């Protein structure tokens, strides 16, 4: 029942969800690293302007 609902709601995104669940650790590391990189470059850019 739940599988049918997920297939209907997610549609083609279902494949991306299974890839994300299989590689959860690597995906989360990429997200966290990109967050800190954006904070670092934004701070560096603001210091340069002042």
pLDDT at 44 over 90: no
Given a cut of 70, whether residue 22 has pLDDT beyond it is: yes
- Evaluate if residue 50 carries a pLDDT over 60: no
Instruction: Give mean pLDDT, residues 2-27.
Output: 84
Residue 18 token pair: 């299974």
Mean pLDDT, range 10-39, rounded to an integer: 88
- Answer yes or no: are the C-beta atoms of 33 and 41 closer than 8 Å: no
Q: What is the mean pLDDT of residues 25-43?
A: 90
Tell me the pTM: 0.53
């Amino acid at each position: 029942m739940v599988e049918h609902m997920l297939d209907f709601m997610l549609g083609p995104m279902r494949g991306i969800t299974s890839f994300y669940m299989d590689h959860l650790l690597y995906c989360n590391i990429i997200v966290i690293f990109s967050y800190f990189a954006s904070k670092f470059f934004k701070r560096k850019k603001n210091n340069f302007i002042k």
